[in-house]
Structure 1
Amino acid sequence: MPSKDLPPETWKAWWVVGVIFPAHLVLGILSLPLLAYHLYHLSPWTWALVCVYLPFYLYPAEKRYPGWKGFDALWNFFDYESTCQSYFGEFGVHGGAKVDPDGQYFVAAHPHGTVIFQRTYWRSERLARFFRRPWRMLGASVLFRIPLVREMTLWFGAVDAGRSNCERLLRAGATVVVWPGGLDEANSVDEPRGVVRLRTRTGFIRLAVRSGVPVLPMFVFGELDAVEAVRLLPRPLASWLKRTLRASSNGFVGRYGTPVPRRVPFNLVIGDPIATAAAPSAAATDAEVARVHSLYRAELSRIYHEHRDAFGYGGRELVFANEDLAAG
């Protein structure tokens, strides 16, 4: 739905969703050169701030459980339940009839997008009713190296996406949320408008199989439209950063050519859980991973094609990376 057809968003929604959410990424990245500049010029206030902040920064909270998930007063104030509804016009959750609210899942959410505005769902009662167990998101290691971005990511409930960390979460009985597409699936400056390209992986599925945890696919309509990626560096340098640091160098723009997201409807669709079975050998594990991966891809395709017309994606084809167009 175009923004001109929506009623004006509330001032709180404008600040919370439109400004603060993308601003923590922009300000976090800008803080690095500013901090380096003031430290180089021996600013006493900067040195004092760094001395106070450094112990918190160096503590590896992203590799601990339960980590720093919390700050409930902040999320209660942000009230994504109403602010996202006001800002985006639609903020729906669909499906989930087969989800056991008390069960443990390895959630595979798509698409990754440039900013992952869909993280707000996980701080909303609209999704909380499906997941009564503790949950944690998985985030790229680089996010925990950038001031402000680090803190917001930890408070959201994210931890480092390393394998040992995932195993720790699964052993603790937590539901784990991953965006398997990662940087390969994030909004691309070269992606045709009529294509939704997903990148699926098997690493998280192997962990789910070894832990006996069902895989739960999700797709969020609207994520790819809130902002679009803008290349800030030459392609060779951007590719080097992506390969070496697993970091994106793209910027993003939305309304008025700024980082403020566009007012587009958001609709999250929960697929059916895919059960995993214990495997007695390495060969059997490989076979089980292949089976679950095939079902996971098929479920993603199903929920996309069943809902794309209703949620404005009717003319956009689903493509799995390195594969032909999905049937439908």
Structure 2
Amino acid sequence: MWIDFAPLRIPFQRRLQTFMVLQWVFCFLALAQCCIAVFSALLFTRFWFVSVLYATWWFLDWNTPYRGGRSIHCIRALRLWGYFRDYFPIQLVKTADLDPKKNYIFGFHPHGVLVAGAFGNFCIEVMRFQTLYPGLRPHMLMLPLWFRVPFFRDYIMSAGLVPSDKESAKYLLRRKEGGNVAVIAIGGAPEALDARPGAFTLQLKNRKGFIKLALQCGAPLVPVFSFGENEVFNQVNNPKGSFLRRLQDRLQMWMGISLPLFHARGVFQYSFGLLPYRKPIHTVVGRPIEVDRRDNPTLEEINELHQKYIEGLSHLFEEHKAKYKVPEDRHLTFT
């Protein structure tokens, strides 16, 4: 196998970009497990009191993730995140003004493997989100499982992440002062199993929970499509019906998280590894779909709004695809 090694002379700026993406991949894949190991190991050392004190704090702070979390500006605005942005690079594209007195649901598509576009645009403050949308505060929704991991929960909350359950989302969307954005990767973990270059298949046809949530809270829906999201990683071939896909689906049902077997490049060579490719990601935020509040929406109202959302997302994709080099004959497919 021929290995394409990186050149020895690389600008220091590009090395910083690689480092920031490397630590992001590590945090996504292994930091939670490391936090559990450290918390448990400390209990059997003379520093046992650290875990005990943290456990006490954890108990007292249990509901914070479900009450808007605890975003820390100095971490979100760290200048080093600019190198993460420039690695791909990532760009946030605005198409319409949003009222800061309202709360919104951003439907993010596609999920991709590690939702790089969502993290880069909504969890760190180097993409000028609050300059483009003054008065709005983005909160990325993440599986509640991760907020039960010691130390790790505080780290992800600092980036504005909150649990992806109804209690957490409703707290944000029912704030009377407005200004909150709940960012939801609609396709979720199952969609990650279809994330590969050239894929435009979205798991949306039967995803209506966010539609009901929008109606119950009266929160406008904003379709978001991230062009290039599926281009940054390859994935082992896993067609539906194959042994690997059945195993992945079963594990996803048991664990609540998907396990895509992805690969791209390494740190010192470009032939294999878990670092994403340097491919541009353009995250386009569409126009808001206004929603009338319904405390108990009917199935007909949910289906009507769901269809309107699909049409809005499709229009957003078709309107911008040529600009981002998507072939004219490619269209979104919904499953």
Of 144, 147, 155, which residue of structure 2 is paired with 1:141?
144
Amino acid paired to 2:258: S
Residue aligning to 1:239: 249
Match runs of 1:175-324 below 5 Å: 175-188=181-194, 193-200=197-204, 201-229=207-235, 237-256=247-266, 257-279=272-294, 282=297, 285-314=298-327, 316-321=330-335
Count of residues in Structure 1 that have an aligned counterpart in Structure 2: 306
Residue aligning to 1:76: 77
Structure-2 separation of matches of 1:77 and 1:57:
26
- Decide whether the 8 Å contact of 2:97 with 2:133 is kept in 1: no
Write 1 or 2 for the structure with the bigger share of helix: 1
What secondary structure is seen at the aligned counterpart in 2 of 1:294? helix
Structure-1 separation of matches of 2:57 and 2:259:
26
Match runs of 1:148-159 below 5 Å: 149-159=152-162
Cα deviation, residue 155, structure 1: 1.3
What secondary structure is seen at the aligned counterpart in 2 of 1:10? helix
Of 129, 142, 145, which residue of structure 2 is paired with 1:127?
129
What secondary structure is seen at the aligned counterpart in 2 of 1:220? strand
Runs (4+) of structure 1 exceeding 6 A deviation are none
Amino acid paired to 1:169: L
Residue aligning to 2:68: 66
Residue aligning to 2:269: none
Quick one: structure 1 residues 85 and 240, their matched pair in 2 at CA, closer, same or farther if it must change by over 3 Å? closer
Quick one: structure 1 residues 307 and 46, their matched pair in 2 at CA, closer, same or farther if it must change by over 3 Å? farther
- Decide whether the 8 Å contact of 2:198 with 2:231 is kept in 1: no
Amino acid paired to 1:107: F
What secondary structure is seen at the aligned counterpart in 2 of 1:261? coil
- Decide whether the 8 Å contact of 1:195 with 1:319 is kept in 2: no
Structure-2 separation of matches of 1:198 and 1:99:
25
Structure-1 separation of matches of 2:145 and 2:208:
22
RMSD (Å), alpha carbons: 3.2
- Decide whether the 8 Å contact of 1:222 with 1:266 is kept in 2: yes
TM-score normalised over the length of structure 2: 0.78
Amino acid paired to 1:160: P
- Decide whether the 8 Å contact of 1:101 with 1:132 is kept in 2: yes
Deviations 1:118-150 (A, max 9, x none): 212122343222151333221111222345643
What secondary structure is seen at the aligned counterpart in 1 of 2:225? strand
Cα deviation, residue 152, structure 1: 3.2
Quick one: structure 1 residues 228 and 153, their matched pair in 2 at CA, closer, same or farther if it must change by over 3 Å? farther
Structure-1 separation of matches of 2:93 and 2:28:
29
What secondary structure is seen at the aligned counterpart in 2 of 1:93? strand
Cα deviation, residue 179, structure 1: 1.0
- Decide whether the 8 Å contact of 1:219 with 1:269 is kept in 2: yes
Quick one: structure 1 residues 120 and 280, their matched pair in 2 at CA, closer, same or farther if it must change by over 3 Å? closer
What secondary structure is seen at the aligned counterpart in 2 of 1:248? coil
Amino acid paired to 1:291: E
Quick one: structure 1 residues 240 and 211, their matched pair in 2 at CA, closer, same or farther if it must change by over 3 Å? same
Query: 229-238 or 256-265: which moved more?
Result: 229-238
- Decide whether the 8 Å contact of 1:27 with 1:148 is kept in 2: no
Deviations 1:39-85 (A, max 9, x none): 7xx84167455334433555425543232211x222332454x3244
Gaps of 5+ in 1: 322-328
What secondary structure is seen at the aligned counterpart in 1 of 2:153? helix
Structure-2 separation of matches of 1:248 and 1:46:
35
TM-score normalised over the length of structure 1: 0.80
Residue aligning to 1:15: 19
Gaps of 5+ in 2: 1-5, 267-271
Structure-2 separation of matches of 1:50 and 1:280:
43
Identity %: 24
Structure-1 separation of matches of 2:196 and 2:17:
31
Structure-2 separation of matches of 1:27 and 1:278:
41
What secondary structure is seen at the aligned counterpart in 2 of 1:77? coil
